[in-house]
């Protein structure tokens, strides 16, 4: 009996060892299959990228088109877009905090339209220091620590506006320039491009070029009222024959004042950007020309560029998304019609 018991125990031990060996082989095969899947880098095994898109503000029609373009690229590439920016285009503190929050959240990439070309340098450097690639859009940053700058050639756009003003005035007359606000590199360049062209035409006198509209339509309207009031003749007419504004809100604020005082259509008016109200003004002959950007393409190209950088692909350091001079005469052309009525969110 002792012999049979010993034999039985030995047999059981052999079966247990065999069972352990079999289980080990199964686990090894499972691990190998999992490793092959991960190593192959199939889409199903990858975590979707998250790209933060941070505009200057969230109320202007322009930024709604940027969002639409970013969303389209995100859908095409299978990445998540988080679009968040300040309510007003003068809230640098809020925009800095937004960049910092996205950096802390460790998003995979950031697309940023800096409100200020210096104030946003530090948070951008901090993001890059956390190996988060940053693409700058719309307005320049005084730094080289970013992947790419995707924007309109703003100085060229301003020059286009200047050349149109010269044409509208017949190379003679007086003009007023209402600036946007300090620290905005994009509008600084548009103002410079415009004034550089005007400076080559001695027949045109600049009555004012140092007043700022501020970040909203309301602030632009108030500034326009006081500015034009200073150049009002006793008979109610304006001393200026031409007016230039460098962005959507300043152009619309000025348009309101021209309409209220029945000056609209009597003064040559060149603005920048597009919105339904500005297109109405162009159609009515109250605005002579608009330099229109391509915000949808800007949003689209910026997301594609930052994703390419994340995937270690070579990207262009500067991408010009273009600008077009739109007048009542050409606004019906198919290409231009798409620019002035871009997709919105």
Q: CA 298, CA 57: separation in Å to the nearest integer?
A: 15
Which H helix or E strand runs over 177?
strand 173-179
Q: Who's near 145: CB < 8 A, 6+ residues apart?
A: 124, 125, 128, 134
Q: Who's near 37: CB < 8 A, 6+ residues apart?
A: 45
Q: CA 20, CA 24: separation in Å to the nearest integer?
A: 6
Domain coordinates of the chain in residue numbers?
A: 47-151+295-321, 154-293
- 154-293, what's its fold? Rossmann fold (3.40.50)
Helix (H, G, I), strand (E, B) or coil at 238: strand
DSSP state string for 202-237? TTEEEEEEEEE--SSHHHHHHHHHHHHHTTB-TTS-
Task: Given CATH 3.40.50.1980, say whether it is the number of domain 47-151+295-321.
Answer: no
Mark the ranges of the chain whose per-residue pLDDT is less than 50. Answer: 1-45
Q: CA 160, CA 190: separation in Å to the nearest integer?
A: 9
State both tokens at 199.
Answer: 């400076």
Residue 177: name the closest of 225, 153, 205, 211 by CA: 211
Helix (H, G, I), strand (E, B) or coil at 110: strand
* pLDDT per position as a tens digit, 291-314: 999 999 999 999 999 999 999 999
The pTM of this model reads: 0.82
Residue 55: name the closest of 21, 102, 11, 10 by CA: 102
Domains 47-151+295-321 and 154-293 share a fold: yes
Q: CA 93, CA 115: separation in Å to the nearest integer?
A: 10
* Residue-level pLDDT at 345: 64
* Residue-level pLDDT at 343: 79
């Amino acid at each position: 009996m002792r012999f049979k018991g010993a034999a039985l125990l030995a047999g059981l031990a052999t079966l247990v060892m065999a069972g352990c060996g079999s289980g080990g082989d199964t686990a090894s095969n499972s691990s190998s299959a999992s490793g092959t899947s991960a190593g192959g880098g199939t889409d199903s095994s990858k975590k979707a990228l998250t790209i933060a898109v941070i505009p200057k503000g969230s109320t202007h029609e322009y930024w709604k088109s940027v969002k639409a373009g970013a969303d389209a690229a995100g859908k095409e590439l299978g990445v998540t877009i988080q679009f968040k920016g300040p309510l007003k285009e003068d809230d640098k503190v809020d925009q800095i905090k937004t960049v910092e929050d996205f950096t802390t959240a460790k998003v995979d990439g950031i697309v940023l339209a800096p409100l200020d070309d210096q104030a946003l340098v530090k948070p951008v450097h901090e993001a890059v220091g956390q190996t988060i690639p940053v693409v700058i859009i719309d307005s320049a940053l005084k730094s080289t620590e970013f992947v790419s700058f995707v924007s309109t050639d703003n100085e060229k756009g301003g020059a286009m506006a200047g050349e149109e003003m010269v044409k509208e005035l017949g190379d003679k007359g007086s003009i007023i320039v209402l600036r946007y606000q300090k620290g905005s590199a994009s509008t600084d360049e548009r103002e410079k491009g415009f004034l550089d062209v005007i400076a080559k035409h001695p027949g045109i006198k600049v009555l004012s070029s140092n007043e700022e509209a501020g970040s909203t339509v309301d602030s632009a309207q108030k500034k326009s009222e006081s500015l034009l009031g200073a150049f009002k003749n006793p008979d109610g007419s304006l001393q200026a024959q031409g007016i230039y504004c460098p962005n959507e809100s300043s152009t619309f604020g000025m348009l309101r004042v021209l309409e209220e005082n029945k000056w609209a259509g009597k003064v040559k008016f060149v603005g920048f950007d597009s919105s339904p109200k500005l297109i109405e003004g162009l159609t009515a002959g109250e605005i002579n020309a608009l330099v229109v950007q391509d915000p949808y393409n800007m949003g689209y190209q910026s997301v594609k560029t930052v994703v390419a950088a994340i995937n270690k692909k070579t990207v262009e350091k500067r991408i010009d998304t273009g600008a077009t001079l739109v007048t009542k005469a050409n606004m019906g052309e198919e290409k231009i019609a798409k620019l002035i009525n871009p997709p919105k969110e």
